[in-house]
Amino acid sequence: KEAETQQKLANVVILATGGTIAGAGASAANSATYQAAKLGVDKLIAGVPELADLANVRGEQVMQIASESITNEDLLKLGKRVAELADSNDVDGIVITHGTDTLEETAFFLNLVEKTDKPIVVVGSMRPGTAMSADGMLNLYNAVAVASDKQSRGKGVLVTMNDEIQSGRDVSKSVNIKTEAFKSAWGPMGMVVEGKSYWFRLPAKRHTVNSEFDIKQISSLPAVDIAYGYGNVTDTAYKALAQNGAKAIIHAGTGNGSVSSRVVPALQELRKNGVQIIRSSHVNQGGFVLRNAEQPDDKNDWVVAHDLNPQKARILAMVAMTKTQDSKELQRIFWEY
Ligand SMILES: NC(=O)C[C@H](N)C(=O)O
């Protein structure tokens, strides 16, 4: 009988990378003061015995770090392991436990480069498992529920936080401390309640199987950095980033991705020297940057990130620049993904 149910259940692999979901604090009152990335994947799985009702779950520790310390090499390592698992016949879905600080970057990266329609779900928590009202257990349970559900196929990389199913492309950590931290300007795709998913919308942008990018073809990512726009800004950071080897600079601009008149000449000069300039917005939710609005992008040969926030624009620029150095191609990619 047991063997029969095991056969019916989906096979889900949990790839653990660290973060607060694997964190531990000194007391149950420590919801914000704790060390991230302490617990191994076996402990995470053992902490939620109900996972066994949803899927045949096994775990792998890919790394053990707080997500603010994730590097491009870590992204590639994780991405390549996800692709190997997605290719194997005995894997139906993949869950990645991850710190929340850069979770949106990893989720978007995987959304761009994994050539599979199998569910890939990235999940974290805002409180460590040792805290009162810890959110990791339920978030993980929901992630495994979504990853083992056939309905989740072909919807791009997903994120399950706070009972919601979000698109890995759109979602962003918009609040810290609170458990309702992850929001998308375009709304969640669905909800998970008691291990069952309820879907309401689909992503309109290219992803996974419809993406022109493939992790198997990517061996390194180019240097792309971000500089912040604010009152009284100077061009120092932009110039320093370029001097340090940045192939593209994401302008985390004010408002519509506007650029201070004190910075414009430096960006025009950098572009002439081959550095791509990509205008995005650092408004907290729902940045929306259009070509030639605020700045003459056609004349300057700059690119706009449209609705992608600066950290997501960095991910797309890196992936795109593994294939093209042409600013018009880059702009096409920014419209399509
Ligand atoms: N809530 C968290 O996971 C935050 C932690 N700093 C991390 O990103 O690893």
Q: pLDDT tens, 14-23?
A: 999 999 999 9
Question: Rounded to 5 degrees, what angle do the CA atoms 67, 101, 195 make?
Answer: 95
ipTM (interface predicted TM): 0.97
Q: Name the catalytic one among 17, 97, 100, 179.
A: 100
Tokens representing 68? Answer: 């603010």
Mutation test residue for ligand 1: of 17, 67, 180, the one with most atoms within 8 Å of CB: 67
* 97 is an active site residue: no
pLDDT at 5: 67
Q: Which residues line ligand 1 (CB under 6 A)?
A: 19-20, 36, 66-68, 99-101, 124, 126
In angstroms, rounded to a whole number, what is the distance separating the alpha carbons of residues 82 and 86? 6
Tokens representing 107? Answer: 């989720």
218 with 320: CB under 8 angstroms? Answer: no
* pTM of the model as a whole: 0.97
pLDDT at 1: 64
User: Helices marked H in 114-164 — which ranges?
Assistant: 136-147
* 324 is an active site residue: no
pLDDT at 7: 75
Beta-carbon contacts of residue 147 (< 8 Å; ≥ 6 apart): 10, 12, 55, 92, 93, 94, 95, 119, 120, 121
C-alpha dist (Å) from residue 232 to 91, 153, 227, 263, 313: 53, 48, 14, 10, 24
The residue ranges of the chain whose pLDDT is under 50 are: none
16 with 61: CB under 8 angstroms? Answer: yes
